Amino acid sequence: MRTPRRAARIAVLDPAGAIFMFRYDNEEVGVHWAMPGGGLEPGESPRQGAARELREETGWTDIAPGPVWFSWEHDYTRAGVPVRQYEQVFLAQGPRRDPVGDLAAAHAEDGILRGRWWTPADLAGDTEPLWPPQLPALLARLREEGPPSAPVDLGHVRDAAPPIAGS
């Protein structure tokens, strides 16, 4: 039996369509790339959680979550407890820049090794796992069609961290 966990992330896109992501490493999940975000606090809405996590992990205070882009569920182990995490991912626009402020303690606690901006071409060529693995296809659809009229529901993704396409 898995413990349910609610989380929110924020997809910050620069004007050229690159997305900001963090490289995480921990003993339970391993190395993977994911957008800023994390678990919701009691009483917190997904939108509030996405904004808080972005602020805590990047120091950016001038980016607000836009519409919900997609949702997905995935299983992993957190602090030794099997969880099924339900995530909502919000869209946002922002300038291409590095995180600001003293984030070392927050990054150490979350297992964040570094952040970087990924172009669509970068995502197609890397070999490290990506959360969610469908991100390159979702970004391509976003570029072609614009934001969806309703959030995309990826459902339960059984293998949440396979190699990125092209590996």
Per-residue pLDDT tens digits for 43-54: 999 999 999 999
Helix locations, the chain, DSSP H: 46-58, 104-110, 120-125, 135-145
**Cα separation, 38 vs 46, whole angstroms:** 10
Q: Where residue 162 falls among pLDDT bands split at 50, 70, 90?
A: very low
pLDDT digits (tens, 9 = 90+) for 9-21: 999 999 999 999 9
Q: Answer yes or no: are the C-beta atoms of 75 and 2 closer than 8 Å.
A: yes
The domain 3-154 belongs to what CATH superfamily?
A: Nucleoside Triphosphate Pyrophosphohydrolase (3.90.79.10)
Q: What is the pLDDT of residues 26-80, one digit of tens each?
A: 777 789 999 999 999 999 999 999 999 999 999 999 999 999 999 999 998 888 8
**Domain regions of the chain by residue span:** 3-154
- Placement of tokens 């059984």 in the chain: 158
Instruction: Give backbone dihedrals phi and psi of 56, rounded to 5 degrees, phi first.
Output: -65, -35
